[in-house]
Structure 1
């Protein structure tokens, strides 16, 4: 199974207030993330973390926490990710800045682009390739980005005029449809159709 999530912001107290996260403390947030993650992910699953696992620093605590998260973890680096510690690097199956890959739902195949940052133009965006991203949290910036994509399609911008829709999904853990839990592509697509 493949799962996706972004912007955990472990050990980042300001993230609770910034995102209006429903936690009284970092410990409460960490406990929920650990429980939600390990209740659904097995050690054979792949989990794609689209950046900002943590704020910089607190290496020992961070290493101990991430080591408890099940699954083979792939880190698409975000602006807050510091991977300079070799022990931390070893917790990930792969670390990269950007990734193109495929996933399936039933017999349907999907091409994906994984990036920490929302991007305005990605390969085959007008031919069904889906962008999964993070970084913008639940913000006016994210709403503006989604509005821009809609306007690109509506105005027949180059490379998107053939597209029925441009699909870019924010997989930040704080989003209602993510609920601090790694989600499958099917869950992400289904939950966003309801919005």
Structure 2
């Protein structure tokens, strides 16, 4: 199974207020995010991670988190990912990546400003969190963009199969919950 998510910002106290995250502490946020990740993702699953994993930009901190999280990760580097590891067995570090799923082409970058203005398929990105909902909702069908930020995904990874179902609706969705409601209405 293939999954997507971005901008966990583990160990980042300020992101709780900045993005109005529903956590009382960094420790509680870290544990919840890691549990949600590992509940959704099995060790052999593939994850395209859209950047900004941890605010602690040391190799040891990044390695510690990546060892705790399940899955084979394609890690698209974000603006807070100062440390690039040359090699981890289950992680591939890239500036961008492309893939096709069920005939739908995707181009993944961290900041949408770094992506193509007219992608051949869908531009998947993080970076903007939930702070500009009009410009960067979870799914902007007209702009052919998907914001992968954790806040918009309910703080858990999204299966690419599920995303393709959301996209097939041809609608704009503010977040994952809105897309789920539309699918079940």
TM-score (norm 2): 0.79
In the aligned structure 2, how far is the partner of 1:67 from the partner of 1:60? 10
Question: Which residue is 1:70 aligned to?
Answer: 70
CA displacement at 1:19 relative to structure 2: 0.7
In the aligned structure 2, how far is the partner of 1:143 from the partner of 1:173? 17
- Unpaired segments of 5 or more residues in structure 1? 151-164
The answer on whether the counterparts of 1:73 and 1:91 sit within 8 Å (CA) in structure 2 is no
The structure with more radius of gyration: 1
CA displacement at 1:11 relative to structure 2: 1.0
CA displacement at 1:85 relative to structure 2: 4.8
Which residue of 83, 103, 128 maps to 1:136? Answer: 128
| Matching of residues 85-124 of structure 1 within 5 Å | 85=85, 89-90=87-88, 92-104=90-102, 109-119=103-113, 121-124=117-120
CA displacement at 1:180 relative to structure 2: 1.3
| Matching of residues 19-58 of structure 1 within 5 Å | 19-57=19-57
Question: Which residue is 1:17 aligned to?
Answer: 17
In the aligned structure 1, how far is the partner of 2:66 from the partner of 2:148? 19
- Unpaired segments of 5 or more residues in structure 2? 167-175
Quote the RMSD (CA, aligned, Å): 2.4
CA displacement at 1:3 relative to structure 2: 0.3
In the aligned structure 1, how far is the partner of 2:80 from the partner of 2:143? 28
In the aligned structure 2, how far is the partner of 1:182 from the partner of 1:70? 11
**Cα distance change of structure 1 residues 118 and 84 upon mapping to structure 2, 3 Å threshold:** closer
The answer on whether the counterparts of 1:115 and 1:133 sit within 8 Å (CA) in structure 2 is yes
**Cα distance change of structure 1 residues 17 and 139 upon mapping to structure 2, 3 Å threshold:** same
2:174 corresponds to 1:174? no
Q: After superposition, give the CA deviation of every residue in 1:43-71 in whole Å (9 maximum; x if it has no partner).
A: 11110110111114354344222201011
The answer on whether the counterparts of 2:75 and 2:92 sit within 8 Å (CA) in structure 1 is yes
The answer on whether the counterparts of 1:56 and 1:82 sit within 8 Å (CA) in structure 2 is no
TM-score (norm 1): 0.75
SS in 2 for 1:143: coil
In the aligned structure 1, how far is the partner of 2:110 from the partner of 2:89? 19
